[in-house]
Structure 1
Amino acid sequence: MPGDAKQVLGQPIATNRVLGRRVLILGHGAMGRAFELLLSARHDVVVWDRDLQTWVETQPLEDAAQQRDVVIFALPTQPHDELAGRLASCLDGDALCLSIAKGLDQHGRTPAEIFDHHFGTRIGWALVYGPMLARELQAGLAGFAMVATTQPRAGEQLIALFQGTPLHLDLLDDPHGAAWAAILKNVYVPLIGAADALALGDNLRGCLITDMLRELADIIETMGGRAKTAYTLAGLGDLVASATGASSHHRRIGADLAVGRTDCLAASGANIRTEGVHTLAMVRAHRPFASDRFPLFQLVCQFLDDPPQLRLRLDEYLDRRFARHAR
């Protein structure tokens, strides 16, 4: 390949391109690497990470954040409070922060609540949710997501950040609703993975996804968001991609549990990979909404508590679900 170009996402990019924003990516897992690949050709990208065993940081976070225009939280929700608190005092008012996390922290808070607490309106912030599986982004395939924020200027700047990449973004002014849509999607998806692993049929999958969306919309509205957010890329789009995608981690959790493999429930310190499972534990602990009002949500809880009983619980759910139509 010529010395004045490098291959990025399948396209030759000249190395003398004028770089745009100064971006700091927190976390170097699958999504952190995907965002690094997406942005490095057009922006000045620095990656910060730390060893979860020794807690040693690649460099002090406060040093890494100096003169950075954009900070991307490409890690689970659990460390958001600590990291946002550290960043709030060293980022200037023109900085932008975005998160892709889809879980609750140990206090039962969403990334939107954490960002709102630490950044408020002083620092622009947004959440990015939608069908954007890391493996596909790394392969140069298209991703699609909503930039959820109440700050239009921040949203437009973040959309501009990804222009020229395969990640296509749209604006949504309901960050709290979007957060619950993305978080609860991770709770529901394992049920689809389990049903598929047990070969229960495409028809059942269609029924379950329909019921998931109805409950998702109701819970979002209960938590102060807009019901219609459930039907955006942050809800429906992400749900379908995760429920049917071969590389979906949460789909695989359900499939593993259905066939008796329970090691997928293990969490590793602050880096909780099974965010849907952790979300269920936090909902039970903090009760942000009355989960017993939502039968499918309860079915997921029963499934994770006792995976071998899934077939029985599904039959009971369907009997109740359609009993009101019996004559």
Structure 2
Amino acid sequence: MKNKYQILILGHGEMGRAMEYLLQQRHTLTVWQRRSQPGSLAVELESIAGQQDIIIFCLPANPHFELATRLRPRLRPDTFCVSIAKGLDDEGRTAARALTQALGPEAPIAVLYGPMISEEIRAGRPAFAQAGAARAEIFARLRDVFAGTSLYLEHSADTEGISWSAVLKNVYAILFGVADELGLGDNMRGYLATAAMHELERIVTGLGGSAGAAHGLAGLGDLITTATSKGSHHHELGRRLVRGQTGALEGEGVHTLKMVRAHRLFGSRHHALFDLIGQLLDKPAATRERMKNFLEQLE
């Protein structure tokens, strides 16, 4: 059935294009960009917001609160907002927290996190995500939205837990790139996966997530994808650290680590791998030496 829902996609980066690919055959889509591209028609956000059934935030976490605040007076009560942002904003908030604070605690919001590489989605390959939604009816609507697509959803009521899992796994993925560039081998990768999951679980539960949240698609599933994919930005960041290419060390993982420190969200010194990644980003020139010292301390 075509044109089942009116859907507004905010942002047209990699994941915005992936969402458009998945949904364009069955729904009526409108795409809004913060900066209009030459030759494209400008879309006035407030004027179209009230017409939408679903709004998908395909943007970094930082503009979520501001955009949701702008949208709130125009939204219908049954319009729900979905985010796929796997980072923190400058206030140290996850996308779910930013949307909740902007729209109110009763607003229908959800997050989609898991192994969802944009290029693979647009090539028709399967992708997988946990849909974090407090209420079952929100998940039912999301499942209907993506029915018949190559994105397979499972429900989690633990929006907090899967949000932190998705955000923090980007930090750990950097270390896999470091290890691969140093030629430390598959055994090292196995160790990092195990140690990273132990840390991730402790951190996520300490931040309010449920036990086991880190082991789902948003955590372990996406960590494996991000830490091993040839096209992974965060894996490549780790490689650049070893090569001394420090001119473009940016991304969701790097920003997340900065926000954890700036807002003292948890004590990174109690988590050896997380602390190590921070040390490497602080002094990239010492990456080889610090990795050597880290391994020696394991003896």
Length-normalised TM-score, structure 2:
0.95
Task: List gaps (5 residues or longer) in structure 1.
Answer: 1-16, 267-273
Contact 2:246 2:284 in 1 (8 A): no
Which residue of the partner structure matches residue 279 of structure 1? 256
Partner of 1:89: helix, strand, or coil?
Answer: helix
CA drift at 1:314: 2.3
Contact 2:50 2:76 in 1 (8 A): no
Distance 1:18 1:239 in 2: 35
Length-normalised TM-score, structure 1:
0.87
CA drift at 1:311: 2.8
CA drift at 1:102: 0.9
Aligned with 1:290 (options 264, 267, 272): 267
Distance 1:318 1:226 in 2: 31
Distance 1:318 1:257 in 2: 18
**Residue 108 of structure 1 pairs with residue 92 of structure 2:** yes
Matches within 5 A, 1:1-327: 17-51=1-35, 58-266=42-250, 274-320=251-297, 322-323=298-299
Partner of 1:227: helix, strand, or coil?
Answer: coil
Contact 1:48 1:64 in 2 (8 A): no
Partner of 1:75: helix, strand, or coil?
Answer: coil
Distance 2:36 2:74 in 1: 23
CA displacement 1:210-234 (0-9 Å, x = unmatched): 1110110000011011130000000
CA displacement 1:5-30 (0-9 Å, x = unmatched): xxxxxxxxxxxx53211100000000
Partner of 2:25: helix, strand, or coil?
Answer: coil
Aligned residue type for 1:96: F
Partner of 1:144: helix, strand, or coil?
Answer: strand
* Corresponding residue pairs, total: 298
Contact 1:26 1:73 in 2 (8 A): yes
Contact 1:73 1:100 in 2 (8 A): yes
Distance 1:212 1:99 in 2: 25
Aligned residue type for 2:62: Q
CA drift at 1:309: 2.1
Taking a change above 3 Å as real, the CA distance of residues 257 and 64 of structure 1, as seen in their structure-2 partners, is farther
Task: List gaps (5 residues or longer) in structure 2.
Answer: none
Aligned residue type for 2:153: L
Identical pairs, percent:
46
Contact 2:65 2:101 in 1 (8 A): no
CA drift at 1:264: 2.3
The root-mean-square deviation of aligned C-alpha atoms, in Å, is 1.8
Taking a change above 3 Å as real, the CA distance of residues 230 and 52 of structure 1, as seen in their structure-2 partners, is farther
Answer with 1 or 2: which has the greater Rg.
Answer: 1
4+ runs of 1 displaced by more than 6 Å?
none
CA drift at 1:57: 9.3
CA displacement 1:250-282 (0-9 Å, x = unmatched): 11111122212122225xxxxxxx011111111
Contact 1:49 1:57 in 2 (8 A): no
Contact 2:2 2:25 in 1 (8 A): no
Partner of 1:265: helix, strand, or coil?
Answer: coil
CA displacement 1:278-320 (0-9 Å, x = unmatched): 1111111110111111111000001111223223222332333
